């Protein structure tokens, strides 16, 4: 545990434990849920431990107190294999007025979700974990704080950790998986490959006990990788699979595979931000497609840093996936939600962080270079003008996030911040 890298979710988890009986920590496999919870757990049970798995499931049914017995906070890892634990914790919390008693982690939505007879409202709280942001992996200077900007802080010229484009391609392919940070050379990219292999060969069928074809699962994931950063419909994905994978697949099957990936927390699409700018039917409400980490998309496609350098358009979409991942990790700390804006007039904004108090910030994601930065600025200024024309609340700030750059700075002509992703933190 001495080499534990602090996570932004550490603070969130501590807060949630201080105000509820149990905290459900959800996220994809290998993102660090168990390791993070073990930092503060006083006792634990690993439900999926091979030699005890069947016994643990049986105990949950006939003597749940045995599973729950231990010092608080008690970690119950991979709880979804025995969903009855939920009601057992609720009952114990009610009877004993417990606060901060349990952390339960899960890498999938429980199969038998209907067995959860009580919602857990007032007793349970939820935390979403994702792979590491660049700040958490030590690859961002953290000179620009998003929470600070929402709090009124200003930036002038701030240092970023400077990465060449080739290095950023490697970071995209490696992803934010904690164990990959301990590896060197080509081994860094194996974690994402192993995750994709585990998903298509086992997890995508195990998640809801529906048998799925390995080859078809991989082709759906490849197609999803090709539509990263777009609002592609099932029809578009179907056509992409037919064209690029030479396979015919119906809409219901596509939805089944995508929903399974969503239950595994592998997919995390971005919902539409719908301010009162235009008539309701002129704002596109489709979700923007994203994997939870860009390395999954890269691994599904079977490409590496060299291929990304030779296809900057694809690289751009993969970098956008990473930028959205980091924004989500950072926004979680101060209660923000990351969405996107796209209307039928063609105006599009890659990301919007919206706070519970109504504040928001607008973001465009670009690889870098003056032409692309100017293009992003035009988009942000157009949306800002549309907002001003409707006399709605103005954005707290506007930012262009770039893949490369040594400094974060503010454009004199319009006040837009230009910040490398490697300069940001929560």
- Could you write out the three-class secondary structure of the chain? CCCCCCCCHHHHHHHHHCCCCEEEEECCCCCCHHHHHHCCCCEEEECCCCCCHHHHHHHHHHCHHHHHCCCCCEEEECHHHCCCHHHHHHHHHHHHCCCCCEEEEECCCCCCHHHCCCCCCCCEEEEECCCCCCCCCCCCCCCEEHHHHHCCCCCCEEECCCCCHHHHHHHHHHCCCHHHHHCCHHHHHHHHHHHHHHHHHHHHHHCCCCCCCHHHHHHHHHHHHHCCCCCCCHHHHHHHHHHHCCCCCCHHHHHHHHHHHHHCCCECCECECCCCCCCHHHECCCCECCECCHHHHHHHHCCCHHHHHHCHHHHHHHHHHHHHHHHHHHHHHCCCEEEEEEECCCCEEEEEEECCCCCEEEEEEECCCHHHHHHHHHHHHHHHHHHHHCCCCCCCEEEEEECCCCEEEECCCCCCEEEEHHHEEC
Question: How high is the pLDDT of residue 275?
Answer: 80
Top-level class of domain 9-128: alpha beta
Q: What is the pLDDT of residues 11-60, one digit of tens each?
A: 999 999 999 999 999 999 999 999 999 999 999 999 999 999 999 999 99
Whole-model pTM: value is 0.94
CATH 3.40.50.300 domain extents, the chain: 9-128
Question: How high is the pLDDT of residue 281?
Answer: 45
Question: How high is the pLDDT of residue 290?
Answer: 98
Question: How high is the pLDDT of residue 221?
Answer: 98
Q: Which segments in the chain show pLDDT lower than 70? A: 1-2, 111-120, 276-284
């Amino acid at each position: 545990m001495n080499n534990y890298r602090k996570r932004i979710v550490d603070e969130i988890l501590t807060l949630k434990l201080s105000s509820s009986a149990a905290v459900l920590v959800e996220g994809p496999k290998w993102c660090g849920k168990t390791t993070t919870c073990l930092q503060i757990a006083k006792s634990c049970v690993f439900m999926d431990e091979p030699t005890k798995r069947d016994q643990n499931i049986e105990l949950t049914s006939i003597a749940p107190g045995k599973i729950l017995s231990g010092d608080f906070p008690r970690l119950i890892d991979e709880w979804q294999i025995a969903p009855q634990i939920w009601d057992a914790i609720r009952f114990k919390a009610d009877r004993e007025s417990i606060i901060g008693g349990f952390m339960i982690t899960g890498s999938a939505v429980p199969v038998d979700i209907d067995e959860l007879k009580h919602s857990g409202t007032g007793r349970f709280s939820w935390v979403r974990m994702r792979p590491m942001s660049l700040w958490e992996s030590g690859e961002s200077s953290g000179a620009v704080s998003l929470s600070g900007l929402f709090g009124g802080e200003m930036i002038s010229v701030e240092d970023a950790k400077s990465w060449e484009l080739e290095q950023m391609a490697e970071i995209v392919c490696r992803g934010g998986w904690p164990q990959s940070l301990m590896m060197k050379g080509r081994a860094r990219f194996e974690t994402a490959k192993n995750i994709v292999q585990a998903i298509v060969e086992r997890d995508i069928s195990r998640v809801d006990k529906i048998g799925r074809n390995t080859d078809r699962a991989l082709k759906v994931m490849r197609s999803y990788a090709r539509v990263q950063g777009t609002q592609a419909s099932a029809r578009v994905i179907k056509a992409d699979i037919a064209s690029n994978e030479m396979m015919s697949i119906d809409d219901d099957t596509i939805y089944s595979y995508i929903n399974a990936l969503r239950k595994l927390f592998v997919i995390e699409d971005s919902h539409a931000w719908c301010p009162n700018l235009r008539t309701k039917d002129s704002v596109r409400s489709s979700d923007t497609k994203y994997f939870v980490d860009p390395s999954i998309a890269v691994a599904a496609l079977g490409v590496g840093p060299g291929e990304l350098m030779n296809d900057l358009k694809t690289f751009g979409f993969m970098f956008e996936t990473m930028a959205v991942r980091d924004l989500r990790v950072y926004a979680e700390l101060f209660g923000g939600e990351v969405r996107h804006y796209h209307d039928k007039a063609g105006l599009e904004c890659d990301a919007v962080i919206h706070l519970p108090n109504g504040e928001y910030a607008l973001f465009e994601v670009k690889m870098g270079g003056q032409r692309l930065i100017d293009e992003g600025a035009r988009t942000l200024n157009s949306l800002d003008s549309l907002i001003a024309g409707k006399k709605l609340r103005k954005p707290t700030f506007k930012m262009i996030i770039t893949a490369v750059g040594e400094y974060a700075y503010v454009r004199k002509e319009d006040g837009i911040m230009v910040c490398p992703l490697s300069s940001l933190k929560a």
